[in-house]
Amino acid sequence: MSTQTKSRGDYWFSLLTQGGEERCGQCASVRVADGDLDGQAARFIAVVPDADNHYPRAARGEVGLLEGWTLAQVVSEAVAADQNQTQKRAIVAIIDVPSQAYGRREEAFGIHQALAGAAGAYAAARLAGHPVIGLIVGKAMSGAFLAHGYQANRLIAFNDDGVMIHAMGKASAARITLRSVEALEKLAASIPPMAYDIGHYRSLGLLDQLLDIRDPQRATQQELALVRQTLATAIADSRQQGCGLENRLGADNRRSSALVRERMRAEW
Amino acid sequence: MREDLSFIELSARERARHLLDDGSFRELLGPFERITSPWLEPQGIVTQADDGMVVAKGTLNGQPAVVAAVEGAFQGGSMGEVSGAKMAAALELAAEDNRNGIPTQAVLLLETGGVRLQEANLGLAAIADIHAAIADLRRYTPVVGIIAGTVGCFGGMSIAAGLCSYLIVTREARLGLNGPQVIEQEAGIDEYDSRDRPFIWSMTGGEVRYRSGFADVEVEDALHQVRAAMLDCLARGVPGQHRSERYDYYLPKLTQFDSRQQADAAVVAQLFTREDRA
């Protein structure tokens, strides 16, 4: 099932939306299609590289000004379309975002606001009863992940070296914390939230599933079926459990997050 | 008399106390409870007993309210697991109050560099929870964000600011997604010179953010002005459309902009004049 695609995100978008109806007219770096999972309607959304991006700092799959606002648009559109439906369509964010866009135009024109548009739209979809699932097939970095995926009811990731979830790339994190990259890596080995590998991330309790995919750029039919089945199950679970994010709070490595809530409630 | 106090010079705790109605301030998870970050000590960093986050309940104009104030002086106001969870929990409980018929209002004081890199992924997760909680709560009551200065509001917390119903800034405030150093690191000094302060101010300073519509009110650094603006925003009620929902306004402008041009203050002013907004 190898195809010529621009990125892992683009590849998995194409695999999962075969036969679906792709939306046109928006910026080329955001792909959107309506399809189904196990007979349930789903809108699939991916941010993909676009070498000719109108804003060059977002050419490699970064979430920039147009991407943030376009995500807001295509998610809000689904919410509006399903307003009177008893069963809201699922929204599947296919996540492979190396970072937000770093640039002067981006800051000047309010990239923070564009990303707020996206995060707010995903949150609103979840609150309106749409199961929102994040499928992490590559990088899920920082502001880009906050805009595209982190508001999901459920997060599913591939168990693969190319999958990385983090607040900042190593070089920048080292510079900002006045450490060397080597020192940073050494610390990350003993401080789970600082680690760059998916195994440590899993220990934080934020993932619903970790899937073994032998080669995420060359999936077998069985692996595609596994991903589809996992998504369908996550959608069903989300419909049952309501629209909050409490399901992320159980891990021992995140026990302070639960403790703070417990004590705050007692004192409220 | 509180009229002449500088707001910026106040600590987070003092800011929260002065914003709430006189005598109504009650801190939750205060410093004596010592719920501190479990991740800093193993890295040889001295913790703070409140983890740099003050959450206080009280009243605003007699109505129930919660103020969550980031202490910019501790670790650059960065969001760790505990400090982030404190703000998220306060917002979550305020939303629950509103669902139960108690109209609890919320005010966020956002002096923060964003994620605390020493707690990286747990800071990021907490910020996602804060986004979720603002999006939930703002359906019932305005969530007012205040960026006074001088730390600024950056990273994932600038997205939180972008989700607020109303945003109040001083001229000394700064608001942007990426800190100048990180942009320079990632994009080069020609794109963004982190040491050129006037230039950075002209991109992300409170005044330009107000003029270009990314903030609703600009106030002087005076407690009574900040407080009056906050009460005014709360009195306006939930806006018909939040700024973060205005893709129909922003997308055409950004798409039509000739992006071969680099941005400067004049370009920003031209693209986002206040006059053409509803």
pLDDT of amino acid B276:
55
Does residue B87 belong to the interface with chain A, where contact is any CB pair within 8 Å?
no
Confidence of residue B185 (pLDDT cuts 50, 70, 90): confident
User: What whole-number percentage of chain B has pLDDT above 70?
Assistant: 97
* pLDDT for A23 beyond 70: yes
* pLDDT for B237 beyond 50: yes
Q: Which residues of B touch A57 (CB under 8 A)?
A: 187, 191
Q: CB of B66 within 8 A of CB of B56?
A: yes
Across residues A223-234, what is the average pLDDT?
98
Across residues B6-19, what is the average pLDDT?
98
Cα(first)–Cα(last) distance of chain A, in Å?
55
pLDDT of B144-181, one tens digit each?
999 999 999 999 999 999 999 999 999 999 999 999 98
Interface test mutation site (partner B, options A69, A111, A132, A139, max chain B beta carbons within 10 A): A69
Q: Which of B53, B77, B78 is nearest to B66 (CA)?
A: B53
For residues A207 and B60, what is the distance between their CA atoms, to the nearest angstrom? 39
For residues A132 and A212, what is the distance between their CA atoms, to the nearest angstrom? 22
- Tell me the residues of chain A between 160 and 219 that have a Cβ less than 8 Å away from chain B: 165-169, 171-173, 175-177, 187, 190-195, 201, 204, 206
Confidence of residue B1 (pLDDT cuts 50, 70, 90): very low
Residue in chain A lying closest to B118 (CA) = A194
Give B228's contacts (C-beta < 8 A, 6+ positions apart).
none
Q: In terms of DSSP bridges, do strands B105-109 and B143-147 run parallel, antiparallel, or are they unpaired?
A: parallel
- Chain-chain contact of B251 with A194 (C-beta, under 8 angstroms): no
Can you name the residues that pair with B145 across neighbouring β-strands? B108, B167
Distance from CA of B138 to the nearest CA of A (A): 11
Q: CB of B117 within 8 A of CB of A142?
A: no
Does residue B194 belong to the interface with chain A, where contact is any CB pair within 8 Å?
no
Across residues A158-185, what is the average pLDDT?
88
Q: Which residues of A touch B37 (CB under 8 A)?
A: 256
Confidence of residue B3 (pLDDT cuts 50, 70, 90): low
For residues A28 and A16, what is the distance between their CA atoms, to the nearest angstrom? 18
ipTM above 0.95, yes or no: yes
User: What phi and psi values does residue B139 have, to the nearest 5 degrees?
Assistant: -70, -25
pLDDT of B34-55, one tens digit each?
999 999 999 999 999 999 999 9
Cβ-based contacts under 8 A for chains A and B? 270
pLDDT of A89-137, one tens digit each?
999 999 999 999 999 999 999 999 999 999 999 999 999 999 999 999 9
pLDDT of A130-140, one tens digit each?
999 999 999 99
Q: Is A115 helix (H, G, I), strand (E, B) or coil?
A: helix
Q: Which of A145-154, A175-184, B3-12 has the lowest mean pLDDT?
A: A175-184
Does residue B65 belong to the interface with chain A, where contact is any CB pair within 8 Å?
no
* pLDDT for A245 beyond 70: yes
- Closest partner residue to A116 (CB to CB) among B55, B123, B244 is B244
Does residue B244 belong to the interface with chain A, where contact is any CB pair within 8 Å?
yes
* pLDDT for A173 beyond 90: no
Distance from CA of A184 to the nearest CA of B (A): 9
pLDDT of B91-102, one tens digit each?
999 999 999 999
- φ/ψ bin of A52: left (φ > 0), alpha (ψ from -120 to 50), beta (otherwise): alpha
- Closest partner residue to A193 (CB to CB) among B28, B39, B156 is B39
Distance from CA of B192 to the nearest CA of A (A): 6
In the chain, the amino acid numbered B251 is L
- Chain-chain contact of A66 with B187 (C-beta, under 8 angstroms): no
- Tell me the residues of chain A between 87 and 126 that have a Cβ less than 8 Å away from chain B: 99-100, 102-117, 119-121, 123-124, 126
Residue in chain B lying closest to A111 (CA) = B177
- Tell me the residues of chain A between 24 and 83 that have a Cβ less than 8 Å away from chain B: 27, 54-57, 65-66, 69-70, 72-73, 76
Distance from CA of A247 to the nearest CA of B (A): 12
Q: CB of B153 within 8 A of CB of B175?
A: yes
Residue in chain A lying closest to B41 (CA) = A191
- Chain-chain contact of A150 with B131 (C-beta, under 8 angstroms): yes
Interface test mutation site (partner A, options B122, B154, B241, max chain A beta carbons within 10 A): B122
Q: Is B71 helix (H, G, I), strand (E, B) or coil?
A: coil
pLDDT of amino acid B163:
98
Across residues B6-26, what is the average pLDDT?
98
Q: CB of B127 within 8 A of CB of B157?
A: yes
pLDDT of amino acid B274:
62
- Chain-chain contact of B254 with A69 (C-beta, under 8 angstroms): yes
pLDDT of B253-263, one tens digit each?
999 999 999 99
Distance from CA of A130 to the nearest CA of B (A): 14
Across residues B126-145, what is the average pLDDT?
98
Residue in chain A lying closest to B75 (CA) = A177
pLDDT of amino acid A258:
97
User: What whole-number percentage of chain B has pLDDT above 90?
Assistant: 93
Does residue B126 belong to the interface with chain A, where contact is any CB pair within 8 Å?
yes
- Tell me the residues of chain B between 219 and 238 that have a Cβ less than 8 Å away from chain A: none
User: What whole-number percentage of chain A has pLDDT above 90?
Assistant: 87
